[in-house]
């Protein structure tokens, strides 16, 4: 079991893949629709993500990295009847079904907040860390991620003594699961038993539903994950996201709320009803008094929240126990949002000491902010020691990955490039080299 004082919350960020592009694939994600068909810069995207990882590692946080996936995904195209050599498969799908080629080419695995839901050993009945990869059932380009994600998580968290890996839930919209983006853990210290909040868009038949956009996360999925992870139901809570917010572009709860330790920072319109969530936290949180920071619509509209990704900031604790808000540059660019951040930082009633601003514009143009890019995993010292050592970001790994990106990534990509067999070849060469750097074994199944 965890000892309360020395467990850490590690962040595992997704390394942006070589085919990062803007294809307008994500229904209900305003940035994805707005930037569709814009040229992308995969090299810059990967370097921006890596810079955030390095900065958090430099602050003394445990920072890991999770690998990109093979794209375009030839195995799925073959399952869909495109046969022949890889070049022929690409030419035919480009000609006959260009939308399908785009779906098979997204670097969306970078958003590891959607990789899985993770419960720390302090919360689970068997004292193991539990992982359930998200099925990402509502979007084709994301539904092809879980198979490789499962393998990547198993290669990273290998020890059977410490880690339990579940299969993704059956991939149907009734069990739609988008992982940690809709899951928040509260605690007094990371190693102490905590509270797990599951937020869903689609619940029972008599509950309200969004009308314009899909509710990607279901209550049934949160309940299944709670059972699989052997959580205590009285320390778990399932809350509904406000359907109007989903229809305004809040496709995950982490676009409208973020929590850390005893703190919940949320928008007035995040939940159908925030009151019982707060009452549950007040009643159940042990060791600290919960702190609620509610942002009013009058100060930050939902539209401002969606364009700035204020609530997709990471809330982190540095080793001295100070709490920081890690936000996207778009927050500093938006007057209302920046004012709200200044107010939060100046308010002695909450523990947030300051904001750290990052340029993640390449990912942001696809609706992926700081918190989307990371999967949080609380680890005791023994669990931390059992993680694949090659995934921890330190100066040496940073230097290696920086050189790897500069060597293998293009600095411009448009949708027509996705049919270029040379891009597939370059990506595979890059992933082969990464397999060595990160010690990934046989994660990728392409033949070269």
Residues that bind ligand SUG (CB under 6 A): 22-26, 29, 32, 106, 108, 111, 113-114, 142, 181, 251-252, 254-255, 366-368, 372
Residue 326 gets the label, from left (phi > 0), alpha (psi -120 to 50) or beta, of: beta
Nearer to ligand SUG, 68 or 368 (CB): 368
Q: How far apart are CA 336 and CA 143, in angstroms?
A: 36
The smaller minimum CB distance to ligand SUG, of residues 194 and 249, is found at 249
> Sheet containing 374-379: which strands, arranged edge to edge?
63-66, 8-14, 374-379
Residue pair 295/267 in contact (Cβ under 8 Å)? The answer is: yes
> How far is the CA of 267 from the CAs of 19, 21, 34, 293, in angstroms?
34, 30, 23, 8
Q: Of all helices (H) and strands (E), which one includes residue 12? A: strand 8-14
Q: Nearest approach, Cβ of 439 to ligand SUG (angstroms)? A: 27
Of 122 and 136, which CB lies nearer to ligand SUG in the complex structure?
136
Distance in Å, CB of 292 to ligand SUG, minimum: 22
Rounded Cα–Cα distance for residues 11 and 69 (Å): 19
Q: Is there a contact between 161 and 127 (Cβ–Cβ < 8 Å)?
A: no
Distance (Å, rounded) from C-alpha 276 to C-alpha 291? 15
Pairing of strands 263-267, 257-260: antiparallel
As a whole number of angstroms, the distance between CA 198 and CA 200 comes to 7
| SS3 state of residue 403 | helix
Least gap, CB of 19 to ligand SUG (angstroms): 10
Catalytic residue among 252, 327, 330, 408: 252
**Residue 111 or 237 with smaller CB distance to ligand SUG:** 111
In the bound complex, what is the minimum distance in angstroms from residue 245's beta carbon to ligand SUG? 13
**Residue 21 vs 63, nearer CB to ligand SUG:** 21
Residue 255 or residue 438: which is nearer to ligand SUG going by CB? 255
425 is catalytic: no
Min. distance of Cβ 57 from ligand SUG in angstroms?
21
Is 252 labeled as catalytic in the residue annotation?
Answer: yes
Residues 6+ apart with CB under 8 A from 39: 22, 412, 413, 414
Cα-atom radius of gyration of the chain, to the nearest Å? 21
Q: HSE on the CB side for 92, CA within 13 Å?
A: 13
Neighbours of 174 (CB within 10 A): 11
**Which of 2, 32 has the CB closer to ligand SUG?**
32
187 is catalytic: no
Least distance CB 257 / ligand SUG (angstroms): 11
Contact (Cβ atoms closer than 8 angstroms) between residue 192 and residue 122: yes
Strands 116-119 and 257-260: unpaired
Contact by Cβ (8 Å): 136, 177:
yes
The catalytically annotated residue of 145, 178, 189, 383 is 178
Positions marked active-site: 178, 252, 372
């Amino acid at each position: 079991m965890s000892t309360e004082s020395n467990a850490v919350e590690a962040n595992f960020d997704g390394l942006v893949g070589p085919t990062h592009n803007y294809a307008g694939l994500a229904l209900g994600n305003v940035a994805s629709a707005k930037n569709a068909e814009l040229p992308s810069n995969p090299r810059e995207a990967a370097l921006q993500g890596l810079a955030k990882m390095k900065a958090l590692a430099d602050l003394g946080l445990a920072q890991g990295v999770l690998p990109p996936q093979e794209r375009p995904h030839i195995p799925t195209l073959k399952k869909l009847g495109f046969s022949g050599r890889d070049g022929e498969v690409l030419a035919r799908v480009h000609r006959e079904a260009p939308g399908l080629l785009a779906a098979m080419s997204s670097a969306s695995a970078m958003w590891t907040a959607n990789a899985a839901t993770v419960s720390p050993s302090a919360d689970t009945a068997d004292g193991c860390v539990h992982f359930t990869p998200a099925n990402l059932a509502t979007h084709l380009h994301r539904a092809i991620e879980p198979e490789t994600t499962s393998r990547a998580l198993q290669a990273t968290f290998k020890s059977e003594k410490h880690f339990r890996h579940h299969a993704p839930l059956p991939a149907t919209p009734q069990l739609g699961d988008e992982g940690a983006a809709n899951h928040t853990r509260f605690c007094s210290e990371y190693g102490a038993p905590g509270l797990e909040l599951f937020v869903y868009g689609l619940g029972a038949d008599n509950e309200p539903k969004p009308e314009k956009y899909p509710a990607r996360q279901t209550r049934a999925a949160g309940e299944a994950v709670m059972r699989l992870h052997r959580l205590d139901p009285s320390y778990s809570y399932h809350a509904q996201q406000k359907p109007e917010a989903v229809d305004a572009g809040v496709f995950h709860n982490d676009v409208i709320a973020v929590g850390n330790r005893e703190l919940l920072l949320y928008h007035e319109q995040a939940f159908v009803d925030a009151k019982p969530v707060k009452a549950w936290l007040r009643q159940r949180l042990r060791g600290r008094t919960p702190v609620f920071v509610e942002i009013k619509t009058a100060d930050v509209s939902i539209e401002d929240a969606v364009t700035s990704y204020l609530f997709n900031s990471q809330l982190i604790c540095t080793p001295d126990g100070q709490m920081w808000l890690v936000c996207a540059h778009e927050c500093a660019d938006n007057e209302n949002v920046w004012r709200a951040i200044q107010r939060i930082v100046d308010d002695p009633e909450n523990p947030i000491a300051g904001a750290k601003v990052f340029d993640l514009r390449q990912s942001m143009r696809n609706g992926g902010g700081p918190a989307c890019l990371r999967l949080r995993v609380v680890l005791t010292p023994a669990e931390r020691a059992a993680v694949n050592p090659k995934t921890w970001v330190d100066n040496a790994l940073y230097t290696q990955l920086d050189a790897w990106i500069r060597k293998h990534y293009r600095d411009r990509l448009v949708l027509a490039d996705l049919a270029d067999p040379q891009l597939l070849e370059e990506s595979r060469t890059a992933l082969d080299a990464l397999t060595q750097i990160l010690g990934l074994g046989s994660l990728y199944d392409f033949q070269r």
